[in-house]
Amino acid sequence: MANTPQEIDTNKLRADPRVIDQLNQAVIKEFRANQGKVVGLMEETSDLQALASKLDILGQPLLLLTMTGAKTGRTLVRPVCYSRDGDRLVIIASYGGEPRNPPWYHNLVANPVVTVEVGTEKFKAKATQADGAERDRLFAEAAKLMPLFADYQNKTKRRIPVVTLMRID
């Protein structure tokens, strides 16, 4: 019998890289099957559904970010919440308020040319870290649209990085 959401230890699931990879793969599959919309996870276990719900990713604006691994050189695809600032897409390296930055952030710093999928559109972009007043403005605007980012900033002592994606093709 499947666990109910109340019985699932999402912190334990979240700490397991295999579970996070399974969740990412499920989100990528649904994103591509539904023209960029992810509102539930098709045919996935209640554990993954509960984790996706706990991480507040279902129903949020998501893009797929294809990048090169900083250490491995492998091609990696990660679903990431985003907002817009004019022609730029804005992503927040929150990692759920964890004390360290997400691995994808380090990949972008090392290899800033990426492929972005938004809805049915796919294009090359350059990732740039926002700093100072611009970072603060972009973070505040993203947190206004997705309050989970403010919650994550309150959970951690690190200053959560903000990255912009500017189309280059």
pLDDT digit string, tens, across residues 81-103: 899 999 999 999 998 888 999 99
Tokens found for residue 150: 């403010």
- Give tens-digit pLDDT for 109-132: 999 999 999 999 999 999 999 999
Q: What pLDDT shows up at residue 2?
A: 36
Grouping H, G, I as helix, E, B as strand and the rest as coil, residue 54 is: helix
Per-residue confidence band for 3, with pLDDT thresholds at 50, 70 and 90: very low
Q: What pLDDT shows up at residue 16?
A: 62
Question: What is the Cα gyration radius of the chain?
Answer: 16
The torsion of the CA quartet 55, 58, 59, 60, rounded to 10 degrees, works out to: 40
- d(C-alpha 154, C-alpha 37), whole Å: 28
- Give tens-digit pLDDT for 16-72: 667 677 777 887 888 888 878 776 654 544 454 554 454 455 567 889 999 999 999
Q: Which residues of 121-132 are buried (b: 16+ CB within 10 A; e: fewer)?
A: eeeebebeebee
Name which of 138, 137, 132 is nearest 163 in CA terms. Answer: 138
Grouping H, G, I as helix, E, B as strand and the rest as coil, residue 42 is: coil
Residues in the chain: 169
pTM, two decimals, is 0.81
Q: What pLDDT shows up at residue 88?
A: 98
What contacts 40, CB < 8 A, 6 or more positions away? 30, 49, 58
